[in-house]
A and B are shown apart, each in its own frame.
Chain A
């Protein structure tokens, strides 16, 4: 069924269809509309789930972790300060190998206080052991929730996932969304079948003390599971296509890259604008293309290398800043490492922090900078500071 829905409400629909048994969340702009809608669904009996009105994000994810360890499918959602406040628990969830799916309505972090979009929040937690998926529009945000549950709960993976989408730009925008039938979702996403769970008849301790003799092996296992998740996510994407028709069989998406001389690399909603900019620049005779990265973790390095092969100029749009780093943005390093070819110029552009709009004209200007070979810098800083 097609419906015109606010991004947040579409995501709430996806969660309703995924049927988590426990939902635990604390409100924060711009995530609020998702959890308000879910609270309403639970209260109306449209979704059979325990909705816990916890007192903070710290409790939100802690309660979610407890519920997951007890064997339930669980859901949470947050943004910005809320995610940072959860940081300790994020590492715990991944370390205990609980396949929790959490929505991240990407928002800048304090200080100074900002409620607007960038991707600093989720990227700051890049190394926590969570799969990180980034959506371009409302439909993809909807779809990736179902896909994430399926891949995370796969016994070859058993890791949690952030489904990231840009705050306001996606969370508060109305778009037409294809909402599948409950039957189809059930076929795609069977009930959660935990490999290990707390069970009084077969007692189990989770999160216990690991001595220096064993600690590293836990990290090793997590890393291997993340590596395996590359194939599992793609499989889940292929299966998704079979049932729902939309193609997520790759963790990247190429747009007009075949004959491109310049490639722009980006994550999230900006990809939509970049596609329009690419069309305009192509009409002006520039051979430009886009590589959209859907998964930052696991990082699809091989696929990126293949997709960009032959292209000599690559520019990464970064809605994050790794303060003090040479390239400035965090994603650029990984792209550069994936390409691993010193004859290719790979440059980062920090843009759109704290909600500053990136327009088509900005994308064109950055493309000129890529062509000139000038980068690893902020784009669009006020003149008086330069």
Chain B
């Protein structure tokens, strides 16, 4: 099914060997093909970055916009024709750095978009500079001895700003990720699916996960299910270094924008 959505004629793709982005595109297309949506009625948008190249590999209308602005463009598309299904691919830099303002306002409005953020903790496309999700102490080309600024938690940000559906998985959790994207697509209002993914070429190389397998193993080992995470927190346990919670964080029905009126 998902093959119908894939532009095989665009191969070879630009992603480096071992990159996690392909897995994520695969999961998103799997989820989209499960919705029964028409390709003609579905639009993919993106900003600029490795992550943002994804719509180029999908056989629908798409807009490859400017860095940080995908959500603003998507807002226009959705308001012009609310019957369209609108999906945004973005990166941690695109979404949370240069596009941070659009992100929180789209959550606040709860506009009916599904945003998939490929979070590799750096600006991948420009060669691995520190981003607002680079964890404390991790190295990048602009933080050669480790990042000293506190990173954003994208999930917390989306929840606090009002999004109706928020989940986080990794490129290891393909089944859960596919399901989360499907839930996002089916939830009216703003949905954010953050995917922590490997960038062996840039982030991995500078942070001891040069090998894709080591990197994915690390993601798997440090992802803690949300319920477990919360109970560990409650019991006052020390959280293992580099660990982070995964799962579904919010599914709610705040008032939304950009949903077609019931016929």
Chain A: residues with CB nearer than 8 A to chain B? 26-29, 32, 35-36, 39-40, 43-44, 51, 53, 55-58, 81, 85, 110, 113
Q: Closest B residue to A40 by CB, please name it.
A: B144
The answer to whether B130 and A81 have CB atoms under 8 Å apart is no
The answer to whether B142 and A27 have CB atoms under 8 Å apart is yes
Which 9 pairs across A and B sit closest by C-beta, in order of nearness? Answer: A56-B98, A55-B97, A39-B142, A36-B141, A27-B126, A27-B129, A43-B144, A32-B126, A40-B144
User: How far is it, in angstroms, between the C-alpha of A32 and the C-alpha of B142 when the chains are bound?
Assistant: 10
The answer to whether B126 and A39 have CB atoms under 8 Å apart is no
Instruction: Assess whether B64 is interfacial by the CB under 8 Å rule.
Output: yes
User: How far is it, in angstroms, between the C-alpha of A371 and the C-alpha of B68 when the chains are bound?
Assistant: 47
Chain B: residues with CB nearer than 8 A to chain A? 48, 64, 66-68, 96-98, 100, 123, 125-127, 129-130, 132, 141-145, 149
Selected from A36, A44, A110, the residue in CB contact (under 8 A) with B129 is: A36
Q: Closest B residue to A33 by CB, please name it.
A: B127
The answer to whether B98 and A43 have CB atoms under 8 Å apart is no
The answer to whether B143 and A39 have CB atoms under 8 Å apart is yes
For A81, list chain B residues within 8 Å (CB): 48, 66-67
A195 CB → nearest B CB, Å: 33
The answer to whether B126 and A29 have CB atoms under 8 Å apart is yes
The answer to whether A55 and B145 have CB atoms under 8 Å apart is no
User: How far is it, in angstroms, between the C-alpha of A28 and the C-alpha of B125 when the chains are bound?
Assistant: 9
User: How far is it, in angstroms, between the C-alpha of A46 and the C-alpha of B203 when the chains are bound?
Assistant: 25
A80 CB → nearest B CB, Å: 10
For B48, list chain A residues within 8 Å (CB): 81, 113
Selected from B97, B142, B143, the residue in CB contact (under 8 A) with A35 is: B142
Selected from B66, B68, B127, B132, the residue in CB contact (under 8 A) with A32 is: B127
User: How far is it, in angstroms, between the C-alpha of A29 and the C-alpha of B49 when the chains are bound?
Assistant: 11
For B123, list chain A residues within 8 Å (CB): 27
Q: Closest B residue to A110 by CB, please name it.
A: B66
| In the complex with contacts A27-B129, A32-B126, A36-B129, A53-B67 CB distance below 8 A | no
Q: Closest B residue to A29 by CB, please name it.
A: B126
For A57, list chain B residues within 8 Å (CB): 98
User: How far is it, in angstroms, between the C-alpha of A51 and the C-alpha of B141 when the chains are bound?
Assistant: 13
For A26, list chain B residues within 8 Å (CB): 97-98
The answer to whether A39 and B141 have CB atoms under 8 Å apart is yes
With A55-B97, A58-B98 given, name 5 new contacts (CB 8 A): A27-B127, A35-B142, A36-B127, A53-B149, A56-B68
The answer to whether A43 and B145 have CB atoms under 8 Å apart is yes
B202 CB → nearest A CB, Å: 12
User: How far is it, in angstroms, between the C-alpha of A85 and the C-alpha of B69 when the chains are bound?
Assistant: 11
Q: Closest B residue to A54 by CB, please name it.
A: B97
User: How far is it, in angstroms, between the C-alpha of A58 and the C-alpha of B66 when the chains are bound?
Assistant: 14
B27 CB → nearest A CB, Å: 26
User: How far is it, in angstroms, between the C-alpha of A44 and the C-alpha of B67 when the chains are bound?
Assistant: 30
User: How far is it, in angstroms, between the C-alpha of A358 and the C-alpha of B262 when the chains are bound?
Assistant: 59
For A113, list chain B residues within 8 Å (CB): 48, 64
B90 CB → nearest A CB, Å: 14
For A40, list chain B residues within 8 Å (CB): 141, 144
The answer to whether B98 and A55 have CB atoms under 8 Å apart is yes
For B66, list chain A residues within 8 Å (CB): 81, 110
| In the complex with contacts A43-B145, A110-B66, A113-B48, A55-B100 CB distance below 8 A | yes
User: How far is it, in angstroms, between the C-alpha of A51 and the C-alpha of B98 when the chains are bound?
Assistant: 18
The answer to whether B130 and A53 have CB atoms under 8 Å apart is yes
For A36, list chain B residues within 8 Å (CB): 127, 129, 141-142
A120 CB → nearest B CB, Å: 15
User: How far is it, in angstroms, between the C-alpha of A81 and the C-alpha of B64 when the chains are bound?
Assistant: 14
Give the interface centre of A26, A27, A44 by most chain B CB atoms within 10 Å.
A27
User: How far is it, in angstroms, between the C-alpha of A26 and the C-alpha of B67 when the chains are bound?
Assistant: 12
B21 CB → nearest A CB, Å: 18
For B143, list chain A residues within 8 Å (CB): 39, 43, 53
| In the complex with contacts A27-B142, A39-B141, A81-B66, A55-B132 CB distance below 8 A | yes
Q: Closest A residue to B96 by CB, please name it.
A: A55
- In the assembled complex, 7 residue pairs joining A and B whose CB atoms fall closer than 8 Å, in A order, are A27-B127, A29-B125, A29-B127, A32-B126, A39-B144, A81-B48, A110-B66
Give the interface centre of A29, A55, A85 by most chain B CB atoms within 10 Å.
A55
For A28, list chain B residues within 8 Å (CB): 126
For B130, list chain A residues within 8 Å (CB): 53
User: How far is it, in angstroms, between the C-alpha of A113 and the C-alpha of B63 when the chains are bound?
Assistant: 12
B148 CB → nearest A CB, Å: 9
User: How far is it, in angstroms, between the C-alpha of A57 and the C-alpha of B64 when the chains are bound?
Assistant: 20
Give the interface centre of B48, B125, B142 by most chain A CB atoms within 10 Å.
B142
B131 CB → nearest A CB, Å: 9
For B98, list chain A residues within 8 Å (CB): 26, 55-58, 85
Q: Closest B residue to A37 by CB, please name it.
A: B141
User: How far is it, in angstroms, between the C-alpha of A142 and the C-alpha of B130 when the chains are bound?
Assistant: 26
User: How far is it, in angstroms, between the C-alpha of A81 and the C-alpha of B68 when the chains are bound?
Assistant: 11
